[in-house]
Structure 1
Amino acid sequence: MSNWLLPESLADILPAEARRIEELRRDLLDLYRTYGFELVAPPLVEYLESLQAVSGTDLNLRTSKVVDQISGRTMGVRADMTPQVARIDAHLLNREGVTRLCYCGSVLHARPAGLLSDRELLQIGAEIFGHAGIESDLEVVQLALESVGRAGVHHPRLDLNYPDLGRFLIERDPVLKTRVAEVCELLNAKDVSGLRALGRESGCLPETTRYLLALTSLYGDGSVLERARSVLPDEPEVREALGSLRRFIDALPGHEITVDLADIGSGYAYHSGLIFSVYAEGWHDALVKGGRFDGIGRMYGRARPATGFSLDLRKLSAGLPAAQPARAVRAPWGSDADLIAAVKQLRQSGEIVVQILPGQELNLDEFVIDRELVLLDGQWQLRAL
């Protein structure tokens, strides 16, 4: 009953699990540094207008509001760190050329994203600003796959989609231009009957309904793209989207890749162009989400091409096999100089040494005591238990 006093969809993380999450955080941030990503740490709360600069998205609904006791203005507790990192790139760093930034911190959702979702996430991610080519997209995808691989995730599946394709098909119909969000929800759910009913009720063009229904069946491996060319309109926007997806798949041989052209209603809707998700057995939804979010910095005074990804370390860790206790050494408490020196030397070599306080009974979840430090023949020595 670790969460019996906590609000719904919030939970404590207990010792062994908390240690593993922290080890993952350190390992991944060190990995991102080897790629040249610089660490930034935006604040947990900001004025609401800054956090909600990307308006009309799920992000606004998930942002918790508080009143700043100093200024009286409304602040928000961040629900996603990507807009904050975009603000740092656009407004504070203001560099020319490519900037690679990474981050890690807690985010809070006013409501859980799904039935099995938590409201507090430990979000870690990496973003590349200032490059519009496929090369930066490939770098962040490779880094995302390496991230989950470092955690012990085997056989991840990369799922690609191109939301701008679906939005183009919707917005080219004058009747549906004001109902984009509604249509996106139906597409994301692959609600065929709902799309047909919307087509009849709205009076949209018959060909629009036909294209939207076709999107719901365009899911699978790379062969989906050839089917899409035959059933979708032959227009520049469609050719660009399908061509980008094909180039991306061809540049990642040896990976399990699927395409879902109807998946355009999820996420925070600030993405543009090609986006991706990483799935793996043992997790009920995507482990990693990322892709292009060009122009998000415009709200902060400087639009830049951008691509990146993020994941929740708590969710990643929760789907792994149970965290195993660490081996530790038991040692007596005392002021003997040789004992103090022996304990210090063991700790400096990386050993965990638990000194037994007077009257203490060991009751540990995270450590397995398999050795002890004992005085033998006038010297402090390790002995197996």
Structure 2
Amino acid sequence: MTDDAPNPALLPAGLMDLLPPEAEREADLVEALMAAFAGHGYERVKPPLLEFEDSLLAGSGGAVAEQTFRLMDPVSQRMMGLRADTTPQVARIAATRLGQQARPLRLCYAGQVLRVRGTQLAPERQLPQTGIELIGSDAAEADAEVALVAAEALARAGVPSVSLDITLPTMAPTLLEAAGVPPALRQRLARALDRKDSAAATELAEQAGPLAAALPVLLAAAGPADGALAALSAADLPPAARAIADNAAAVIAAIRAREPGLRITLDPVEFRGFRYHVGVAFTLYGPGATGELARGGRYVSANDEPATGMSLYPDAVLRAARPAAPRPRVFLPLGTPPADASALRAQGYATVAALAPGDSPAALRCTHVLRDGAAQALSATPFSKDDV
């Protein structure tokens, strides 16, 4: 007779247990990021994991509606959603509970988000997320601040060599709208831009008229910020698109005034990402092939206030950060005075007390053993039965 019961360790696709020591590393990293945010005046808020669907998906929350798990609240008989992104919740808090606070409002958060599906490169559906939101200012300096605070937080977490990629998600739609491109041609041109297909973009832009001619030029200009800014300056842009370009130049100038050594790239016609971005959008990358560590940008808050923010992904940051030295574990033999154990913890050790004569420091993954009143490395001092 076979046992058809499922393996109790089997979890749904995209969900996983985080075990020692990775769980502790992630928790320490989150607190390091939050400490960096607090140092710049960002105050912590804690939204609930679930909210009523109509409030969770209102405003900018509608951009993540397709990624939101829904369930019925047995108490109120109303539909609720599990957050897929924390930014809309912070915007709600700012507009309601903190609506009378002086602006600009600086808030930060840490928690888990859950998404209906992952991506091919990042299949995880439950993710840790930390971030900052600056609400109530439309100044270029506000966008610069969130980018630089996020970069500093990553440096404190062990990722010093970050690069900032800036995109203008409203530039391509603005040019297409100004050119009066028919819907079918507009869709094809947007697809060519999304795929970075310069040949197709050039051919389609010629069909779309003179105002769309800037699109393939700006597509080719993506790269280091100076070159892309020069292309934007030289392009024949309608007023709305020129305002987007001027704002990007102002944001980059504000960033360089405070951190001239930060590597900045600019893609003027990239428009992927959350659909609620209405100005510059940011992505922070670590050295090498570490992938996205943070993403954010300008959006409109829940009560139509100007806002900007950045979300950081601790799981990605852990992969990019320099590995932290594990906390040394000291084996405490039976009968160790509590004062000795307390003194070791004050020195940064984790103490692991023997509970029975057969307990072994090696089996308990200890690196040290308490002997003669001091922590001695196991590699230098072999363990003996007298230590139990």
Q: TM-score range by the shorter chain?
A: 0.7 to 0.9
The residue correspondences of 1:218-233 to structure 2 (distance < 5 A) are 218-221=221-224, 222-230=226-234, 232-233=235-236
CA distance in structure 1 between the partners assigned to 2:57 and 2:188 by the alignment: 21
Q: 1:48 to 1:185 in 2, by over 3 A?
A: farther
CA distance in structure 2 between the partners assigned to 1:43 and 1:180 by the alignment: 40
Q: How far is the alpha carbon of 1:355 from its aligned partner? A: 0.9
Please say if residues 155 and 280 of structure 1, whose CA atoms lie closer than 8 Å, have aligned partners that are also in contact.
yes
* 2:318 corresponds to 1:317: yes
The residue correspondences of 1:1-385 to structure 2 (distance < 5 A) are 5-54=10-59, 58-94=63-99, 95-176=101-182, 184-192=190-198, 195=201, 205-207=208-210, 209-221=212-224, 222-230=226-234, 232-251=235-254, 252=256, 253-264=260-271, 266-293=272-299, 295-297=300-302, 302-322=303-323, 324-334=325-335, 339-358=337-356, 359-362=358-361, 368-370=366-368, 372-374=369-371, 376=372, 380-384=373-377, 385=381
Look up the match of 2:3.
none
What 5-or-longer segments of structure 2 have no aligned partner? 1-6, 382-388
Q: 1:194 to 1:296 in 2, by over 3 A?
A: farther
Q: Deviations over 1:275-319 (max 9, x none)?
A: 2111122445321111111x231xxxx221111101111121123
- Name the SS of the counterpart of 1:272 in structure 2: strand
- Name the SS of the counterpart of 1:292 in structure 2: strand
- Name the SS of the counterpart of 1:269 in structure 2: coil
CA distance in structure 2 between the partners assigned to 1:35 and 1:364 by the alignment: 44
The two structures have a TM-score, normalised by structure 2, of 0.85
CA distance in structure 2 between the partners assigned to 1:111 and 1:215 by the alignment: 32
Q: Deviations over 1:206-261 (max 9, x none)?
A: 3355333333212012122222333x433222322222222233331221111101
Q: How far is the alpha carbon of 1:182 from its aligned partner? A: 7.1
Q: How far is the alpha carbon of 1:193 from its aligned partner? A: 5.8
CA distance in structure 2 between the partners assigned to 1:363 and 1:326 by the alignment: 15
Q: How far is the alpha carbon of 1:122 from its aligned partner? A: 0.5
Q: Deviations over 1:300-345 (max 9, x none)?
A: xx221111101111121123355543212111133x6xx1221122
What 5-or-longer segments of structure 1 have no aligned partner? none
CA distance in structure 2 between the partners assigned to 1:47 and 1:182 by the alignment: 37
- Name the SS of the counterpart of 1:27 in structure 2: helix
Work out the percentage of aligned pairs sharing the same amino acid: 33
| Matched residue type, 1:136 | A
CA distance in structure 2 between the partners assigned to 1:124 and 1:179 by the alignment: 40
- Name the SS of the counterpart of 1:241 in structure 2: helix
CA distance in structure 1 between the partners assigned to 2:363 and 2:65 by the alignment: 43
Q: 1:113 to 1:208 in 2, by over 3 A?
A: farther
CA distance in structure 1 between the partners assigned to 2:111 and 2:214 by the alignment: 41
Q: How far is the alpha carbon of 1:101 from its aligned partner? A: 0.4
Count of residues in Structure 1 that have an aligned counterpart in Structure 2 = 365
Q: Deviations over 1:166-207 (max 9, x none)?
A: 22112223344698777555423223466468669xxx6333
| Matched residue type, 1:254 | G
CA distance in structure 1 between the partners assigned to 2:87 and 2:339 by the alignment: 48
Aligned Cα RMSD in Å?
2.8
CA distance in structure 1 between the partners assigned to 2:60 and 2:27 by the alignment: 33
| Matched residue type, 2:70 | K
CA distance in structure 1 between the partners assigned to 2:189 and 2:80 by the alignment: 32
Q: 1:288 to 1:305 in 2, by over 3 A?
A: same
CA distance in structure 2 between the partners assigned to 1:3 and 1:323 by the alignment: 32
Q: 1:20 to 1:364 in 2, by over 3 A?
A: farther
Please say if residues 195 and 209 of structure 1, whose CA atoms lie closer than 8 Å, have aligned partners that are also in contact.
no
Q: 1:382 to 1:152 in 2, by over 3 A?
A: closer
